[in-house]
A and B are shown apart, each in its own frame.
Chain A
């Protein structure tokens, strides 16, 4: 692991930190400057300055801000996990009520989307960078692990195809809510939260309907079987007379 000086001179013992850790510190510091400068090398340069480093440190990163944006998404996901973990502990200790699934999903997605609020003006730019072919493996992986996390804490224990269905549905809810949020000018983003509530309710209805359809289908089949048996025994008894 390479070591770096924190720029405080002379007799101090060296801070042993890996390059990766240093980069993360710079990117975290750069976030403060994103609302003003966007997801750019300028923001990273300003961030480096606050750590007492040279602005040339921004040269370590891509000019399109890819690492900065991915770092931000990763940090938000980590914060969400911590939040959900804490909530789960409270429920396990009996200090909080277990939320019904739709409320849990709604709250988790809202909490995650609220982390975008300080950066909402510059978020469209970030989304387009996340969609660059070079970044898609990372951004997709961050998205899927976040959605998986939410379902895990929501108590999903499916081990069949439902595992995929649930995650696909939640992913589309998250993505569409995110897009609505970008165009939302209502006070406190209330339009977005209402949109989110409706989408989650739709999803719950869909799965309820699917199970209803299945049980209706089974009932119909049983009815038909019963009718067929009745008819065939009537035929048989008539033939025997």
Chain B
């Protein structure tokens, strides 16, 4: 373990890479890392507009959880030697703009955006859980545990959004459909690029 303030390096990752379905795991970790990164930027955008409002603390709490999620996927990315998506600079801006834009529609707008995104993410995590269970639940036990936990967290965020009157947003269904379409496109692209 290196001295000083450097983070402890994982031991040779050759052990982690033995016998796994690399293409499948690559995609899963890459897109999940991109998703958590985007979610971080969305909450950052929302905080920039609504940070000092009454929903500020709620958004901050959800944002803090996403920061933990991102940290975990960054660790897994190094452990499994996965390439990050090349679209990160784009998600950086797009996420922030989506968060700030939805927050400018008001507190309910921000919550509607949260509901839409978190629903997309939980569905996406469920698909991944299914894929990994079909592959080999024993071999991918750690990854499955992480994804299941995160799926539960995202569902909680979704429920918080509903509690805070997301559905009362004007043009709620239009907004929700648009955001979820964007999420589907983002997932498709970041799996491959």
Min CB–CB distance B70 → chain A (angstroms): 9
**Given A85-B14, A88-B12, A92-B11, CB of A159 within 8 Å of CB of B33:** yes
What is the number of contacts between chain A and chain B, taking CB atoms within 8 Å?
29
- Contacting A160 at CB < 8 Å: which of B12, B78, B84? B84
List the B side residues contacting A161 at CB < 8 Å: 84, 86, 88-89
Question: Is A124 on the interface with B (CB-CB < 8 A)?
Answer: no
Bound Cα distance from A92 to B1, whole angstroms: 8
Question: Is A152 on the interface with B (CB-CB < 8 A)?
Answer: yes
Min CB–CB distance B81 → chain A (angstroms): 6
Min CB–CB distance B33 → chain A (angstroms): 7
Residues of A75-118 whose CB lies within 8 A of B: 85, 88-89, 92, 98
Min CB–CB distance A39 → chain B (angstroms): 31
Query: B13 — nearest CB in chain A belongs to which residue?
Result: A152
Whether A152 pairs with B11 at a CB distance below 8 angstroms is: no
Residue total for A at the interface (Cβ-Cβ under 8 A): 15
Question: Is A157 on the interface with B (CB-CB < 8 A)?
Answer: yes
Query: B79 — nearest CB in chain A belongs to which residue?
Result: A157
Whether A163 pairs with B11 at a CB distance below 8 angstroms is: no
List the A side residues contacting B2 at CB < 8 Å: 98
Whether B14 pairs with A160 at a CB distance below 8 angstroms is: no
Whether A163 pairs with B83 at a CB distance below 8 angstroms is: yes
Residues of B1-37 whose CB lies within 8 A of A: 2, 7, 9, 11-14, 33
**Given A85-B14, A152-B81, CB of A159 within 8 Å of CB of B74:** yes
Bound Cα distance from A175 to B81, whole angstroms: 23
Min CB–CB distance A106 → chain B (angstroms): 20
- Contacting B86 at CB < 8 Å: which of A88, A89, A155, A164? A164
List the B side residues contacting A152 at CB < 8 Å: 13, 81
Query: A156 — nearest CB in chain B belongs to which residue?
Result: B78
**Given A85-B14, A98-B2, CB of A157 within 8 Å of CB of B88:** no
Whether A157 pairs with B9 at a CB distance below 8 angstroms is: yes
List the A side residues contacting B83 at CB < 8 Å: 163
List the B side residues contacting A92 at CB < 8 Å: 11-12
List the A side residues contacting B77 at CB < 8 Å: 159
Residues of B63-93 whose CB lies within 8 A of A: 74, 77-78, 81, 83-84, 86, 88-89
Whether B9 pairs with A159 at a CB distance below 8 angstroms is: no
Query: B11 — nearest CB in chain A belongs to which residue?
Result: A92
Query: A91 — nearest CB in chain B belongs to which residue?
Result: B2
List the A side residues contacting B12 at CB < 8 Å: 85, 88-89, 92
Min CB–CB distance A163 → chain B (angstroms): 5
Whether A157 pairs with B86 at a CB distance below 8 angstroms is: no
List the A side residues contacting B89 at CB < 8 Å: 161
List the B side residues contacting A164 at CB < 8 Å: 86
List the B side residues contacting A148 at CB < 8 Å: 81
Q: 22 A-B Cβ contacts within 8 A?
A: A85-B12, A85-B14, A88-B12, A92-B11, A98-B2, A148-B81, A152-B13, A152-B81, A155-B9, A159-B33, A159-B74, A159-B77, A159-B78, A159-B84, A160-B84, A160-B88, A161-B84, A161-B86, A161-B88, A161-B89, A163-B84, A164-B86
**Chain B contacts to A: CB under 8 angstroms:** 2, 7, 9, 11-14, 33, 74, 77-78, 81, 83-84, 86, 88-89
**Chain A contacts to B: CB under 8 angstroms:** 85, 88-89, 92, 98, 148, 152, 155, 157-161, 163-164
- A-B contacts besides A98-B2, A157-B7, 14 pairs, CB < 8 Å: A88-B12, A92-B11, A152-B81, A155-B9, A157-B78, A158-B84, A159-B33, A159-B74, A159-B77, A161-B84, A161-B89, A163-B83, A163-B84, A164-B86
* Those 10 A-B pairs whose CB atoms lie nearest each other, nearest first: A159-B74, A157-B78, A159-B77, A159-B84, A163-B84, A161-B88, A161-B89, A160-B88, A164-B86, A152-B81
